[in-house]
Chain A
């Protein structure tokens, strides 16, 4: 099916971000189109217009015509559109309705009132075609992000839509998850489905795309053919504030020698942790020196988050010790010294303005000191804004500012670049470097090779 935008303009009711200005383009049947651009450039807006969530769901003013197969999107009912357009969203945690995988995949078919024989036949077909037999009949709450995203994909796929829309589907996925997503995308491309995908991480899509639309400030600044896109150098892409179109592989770590306990920095010795009666990891030894940026990688279930939580003193170790500056630390001490910037920063922002967030719960705080920290984090101009209205990268920096206010020496980051565009990823790396210069111990759990390449000094791999 064709998708056609004729002089489409749109703005959200409450923000200038994501605005579209007089956009026109046409996507042909079976084309694989990638929408790229900085955060807030309007690419998500385009996907929301095609699946009808704009204006019905998000409000705002839509002008111009959007046609799917020659028929206006506004003439479709939401449930009619759902048979034509399948959508996969960014956050795998919040897009499932059921608690078991089979029901989730069948959700669209059940809404459409298909017979149970037909639903089950489709279910079998979908799981076989997407090669997800091992995900059948599982508790969704116990799946990894990548697995959840596959279920979301399968659920859209089950309705056999002619147009597939994906909005930053890789944002919360690890390398294995992205590989799985890529296989699914190859499958639908080969079926001749029209695919429209808005994304920041581009490497996994390079071989699939037919055309790239580069958006900037709500207009299509450049149309790039698939071949041209594949031949573009990293420098060119980066100059356009885009991420690399090729996978960046990193050198595996050389094995490290455990020496004496460091006089400065964090040492982990023979650490074992059990969580929910399961041994997550055993006898880990690691050293982290101040002023360096350490990345921890490893597959799902290797215990990366558990390790971070133990270092913060949120979990107690079954065996082993953690030392800071040569002293053995108890859990309570770790809670005082270490700080973690969570993957979902929303959990850790409490106050009603950026500046109050910094002084919340702290006693000594001269306003000059606060403003200095905010300035360093590039947040001074937002000091009166509500933290929830900041962008993802800004929220992260606010959490860092909080940790600086609290004088924490050990800073941990859980997937800091998930959902960040090139520019913000780079900013994040710059800020980490700046923190390293302040002699902080910096430990980052990440899957983002491109990010590691910009700032990582040493990689530990958890198995």
Chain B
């Protein structure tokens, strides 16, 4: 039960598990509807960023340790893999969560600005799959879809995935993540710290 500096206590790990559930649900709740509609799928990262800001901020306040976000990323990556999600998405989670942890860690998880940037970086993760699409459409489509009729799909997707779509996706996600992150910081100040749950 000794609080080692770097290791995780059982309490940390349990908190990580519970907050992973909340982060995942928040993402699916507002992101899910986008991913189900093919022409809107590019806006999934925007939807996914809407709700999670306050959860993210409280989480890093509760487990302010390097590596906590890596575990969240790993858990999301594992769950994505076993449910057949695209590897770009899964590793996007892992990489962005790791980077987010490093960024927030620079300010010892206490700097508002760095925490906000960390959340924005965390929200970029789900874009991984679309970056793969842009780099290599054939491989992406052959991963996502059956062989044979893929040309029709590529055409459709290429039609949707114009430069402006990608720009909207990236800018939109950053804007939404910033707002959600700011809401998180506000709730931290206004609610969570006063409520005594942010430790």
Contact = CB atoms under 8 A, between A and B. Distances in A.
Interface of A: 14, 52-53, 56-57, 77-78, 352-353, 386-389
Contacts of A388: 194-197
Given A352-B190, A386-B191, A14 B196 contact: yes
A353 B191 CA distance: 9
A57 B196 CA distance: 16
Nearest to B10: A78
The 3 A-B pairs of least Cβ separation, nearest first, read A56-B1, A388-B195, A78-B1
B196 A389 contact: yes
Given A52-B1, A77-B1, A78-B1, A57 B11 contact: yes
A389 B195 contact: yes
Contact of B194 (A52, A57, A77, A386): A386
Nearest to A388: B195
Interface string B82-122: 00000000000000000000000000000000000000000
Q: Which of A14, A57, A386, A387 has most chain B Cβ within 10 Å?
A: A386
Contacts of B6: none
B2 interface: yes
Q: Is the interface of B mostly helix, strand, loop or mixed?
A: loop
A388 B11 CA distance: 21
A97 to B, nearest CB: 9
Interface string B162-199: 00000000000000000000000000001100111101
Interface of B: 1-3, 11, 190-191, 194-197, 199
Contacts of A57: 1, 11
B21 to A, nearest CB: 14
Contacts of A353: 194
A352 B191 contact: yes
A241 to B, nearest CB: 26
Contacts, number: 28
B196 A56 contact: no
A386 B196 contact: yes
19 contacts: A14-B196, A14-B199, A52-B1, A56-B2, A56-B3, A57-B11, A77-B1, A78-B1, A352-B190, A352-B194, A353-B194, A386-B191, A386-B194, A386-B195, A386-B196, A387-B195, A388-B195, A388-B196, A389-B196
Given A352-B190, A388-B194, 11 more contacts: A14-B196, A14-B199, A52-B1, A53-B1, A57-B1, A57-B11, A78-B1, A386-B191, A386-B196, A388-B195, A389-B195
Q: Which of B11, B194, B196 has most chain A Cβ within 10 Å?
A: B194
Contact of A389 (B2, B3, B194, B199): B194
Nearest to B193: A386
Contacts of B2: 56
Contacts of B3: 56
A108 to B, nearest CB: 13
Contacts of B1: 52-53, 56-57, 77-78
A11 to B, nearest CB: 16
Contacts of B11: 57
A302 to B, nearest CB: 33
Contacts of A14: 196, 199
A333 to B, nearest CB: 31
Contacts of B195: 352, 386-389
Nearest to B191: A352
A208 B11 CA distance: 34
A361 B191 CA distance: 17
B12 to A, nearest CB: 11
A3 B34 CA distance: 60
A52 B197 CA distance: 22
A389 B196 CA distance: 7
Q: Which of B1, B11, B196, B197 has most chain A Cβ within 10 Å?
A: B1
Nearest to A53: B1
Contacts of B197: 388
B16 to A, nearest CB: 15
A352 B195 CA distance: 8
Q: Which of A53, A77, A388 has most chain B Cβ within 10 Å?
A: A388
Contacts of B191: 352, 386
Contacts of B190: 352
B191 to A, nearest CB: 5
A304 B45 CA distance: 44
Contacts of A77: 1
A57 B2 CA distance: 9
A52 B3 CA distance: 13
A77 B11 CA distance: 15
A43 to B, nearest CB: 21
A388 B58 CA distance: 15
A49 B140 CA distance: 57
A261 to B, nearest CB: 44
B11 to A, nearest CB: 7
A57 B12 CA distance: 11
A112 to B, nearest CB: 15
A190 to B, nearest CB: 32
Contacts of A56: 1-3
B198 to A, nearest CB: 11
A435 B1 CA distance: 48
A386 B197 CA distance: 11
A278 to B, nearest CB: 27
A53 B197 CA distance: 18
B23 to A, nearest CB: 20
Nearest to A15: B196
Nearest to B189: A352
B17 to A, nearest CB: 10
A77 B195 CA distance: 32
Nearest to A349: B195
A352 B3 CA distance: 31
Nearest to A77: B1
Contacts of A78: 1
Contacts of A386: 191, 194-196
